[in-house]
A and B are shown apart, each in its own frame.
Chain A
Amino acid sequence: MRLILAATALSLTFAGVAFAQQPVPPGEQPVEPYVQSNANAGATPMKDKAVLEAFHGKDGIARITSDLVDRNISDPRIKDIFATADIVRLKRTLSEQFCYILAGPASDGGCDYTGKDMSATHQYQGITPRDFNILVENLQKAMDKEGVPFAAQNKLLAKLAPMSRQVIERR
């Protein structure tokens, strides 16, 4: 089932190539045009800048999100979900999303999120609650590796947890 859906998603992606209007960042595949907005990040920025420091700023966030993606695509339990994913784009948009949540928009010294919203990004992936929790565990490992204190980790997880409603498709 997942294969068929993945194939459908892939063909949709190819169909969209002809209509791509946004510039394609180097190393990434083109995507169908969509409305970019920080609202797509699925969470509002955190007020407490101490959390950003605990994540070692934008550089720390980039290291964590890159490590998280690497862990997910090599995790035998969930790697199939990422079989057709554009990893370069995933790392970039995930980093933007975490940066927006932890540091605010670019106009406030943080980042703007240019990815799709959480429903669109995870549609047809058939993600289950267990898949979601495995991703959380991998994120905890990535944050541990960066040396982010547990209390600060939980502040980010508190922002991400409600996204389970859009991300989890099979309950």
Chain B
Amino acid sequence: MAAVAATLAFGSSAVQAAEAEPGGKLLLTGGVSALEGGGGGGVATWALIGGNETSRGVGGSVHATYVNVPDYELRSAGVTLGLFDRVELSLARQDFDTGATGAKLGLGQGFTFKQTVAGVKVRLLGDAVYDQDTWLPQVAVGVQFKQNDQPAIVRAVGAQDDTGIDYYAAATKVLLDRSLVVSGAVRLTKANQTGLLGFGGDKHDRYGAQFEGSAGWLVSKRLLVGAEYRTKPDNLGFAKEDDWADVFVAYAFSKTLSVTAAYADLGDIATFKNQRGLYVSLQAGF
């Protein structure tokens, strides 16, 4: 995959070096940064390529995300690189802070799981914005390589591995005449709580197909309000894992700065029930 990106980058730079154009995307058409990095909604991944670039340039963004639910905190920070509106490379670091809950779980006060997610996404076909005369969406496929930094602990709770690879296909469409954005993705994954509790489990240890769906209404060119739903596996015997859902508001102050705020329902996490709370994400890009 990296070789493909390198070839594309080289091929294009050879032809266009003198005329490469920075920026040029319309507001919000690169999506916002998803929790696991790359262009998406909040908890869902979209087919849009991050960064403000068009097919003739390179773009990128950085994001910082904070989620506060009753018994945990989740922080995420990452970088996304968009190459020619075709290939997206992303790197995200997630900190899952158990705070006072850590002591109750026997992990110790403030115990924090950390996970690194490296992603590659390639747009296969379609243009979510331009192709308004067809129902054909923008379609992309991607891979996320995930590494959890607590191999002993995640195995102790029943996970089979501290590393995992997610594979997904996403389809995103802007229905301009209705001012709507809709997106769906199918993800093949073994990840427990996206990988924060490891991969595979004592109950199940096979890849399963999970679904991510988003729908948003473009209120203005700067403002998108919507909702997301993401199904999750349930691999661990010690605690039931729930699907995630949220309602969100994404606002673009400018082409370089946007904010996403959401009310997220993360369900039960590691035996602690009804983890609902605020999700805030800031992103800056070019």
Give me the interface of A with B, judged by CB distance under 8 Å.
128-130, 133-134, 136-137, 140, 150-151, 154-155, 157-159, 161-162, 164-165, 170-171
Q: Are A161 and B129 in contact (CB under 8 A)?
A: yes
Q: Are A140 and B221 in contact (CB under 8 A)?
A: yes
* Docked CA distance A158–B179 (Å): 9
Q: Are A128 and B24 in contact (CB under 8 A)?
A: yes
Q: Known contacts A130-B21, A158-B132: does B219 contact A150 (CB below 8 Å)?
A: yes
Q: Are A151 and B26 in contact (CB under 8 A)?
A: no
What is the interface of chain A mostly: helix, strand, loop, or mixed?
Answer: helix
In the complex, B153 has a CB within 8 A of chain A: no
10 A-B Cβ contacts within 8 A? A128-B56, A130-B23, A130-B54, A155-B177, A157-B176, A161-B129, A164-B130, A165-B130, A170-B19, A170-B56
* Docked CA distance A162–B127 (Å): 10
Q: Are B24 and A154 in contact (CB under 8 A)?
A: no
Q: Are B54 and A162 in contact (CB under 8 A)?
A: no
- Tell me the number of A-to-B contacts counted with CB atoms below 8 Å: 59
Give me the interface of B with A, judged by CB distance under 8 Å.
19, 21, 23-26, 54-57, 85, 127, 129-133, 176-179, 218-221
What's the nearest-Cβ distance from chain B to residue A153, in Å? 9
Q: Which B residues are in CB contact (< 8 Å) with A165?
A: 130
* Docked CA distance A136–B29 (Å): 13
Q: Are B218 and A150 in contact (CB under 8 A)?
A: yes
What's the nearest-Cβ distance from chain A to residue B249, in Å? 16
What's the nearest-Cβ distance from chain B to residue A117, in Å? 16
Q: Which A residues are in CB contact (< 8 Å) with B23?
A: 130
What's the nearest-Cβ distance from chain A to residue B52, in Å? 10
Q: Known contacts A133-B24, A137-B26, A150-B219: does B54 contact A158 (CB below 8 Å)?
A: no
What's the nearest-Cβ distance from chain B to residue A127, in Å? 11
Q: Which of A133, A150, A159, A162 has the most CB of B within 10 A?
A: A133
What's the nearest-Cβ distance from chain A to residue B93, in Å? 32
* Docked CA distance A170–B16 (Å): 10
Q: Which A residues are in CB contact (< 8 Å) with B130?
A: 161-162, 164-165
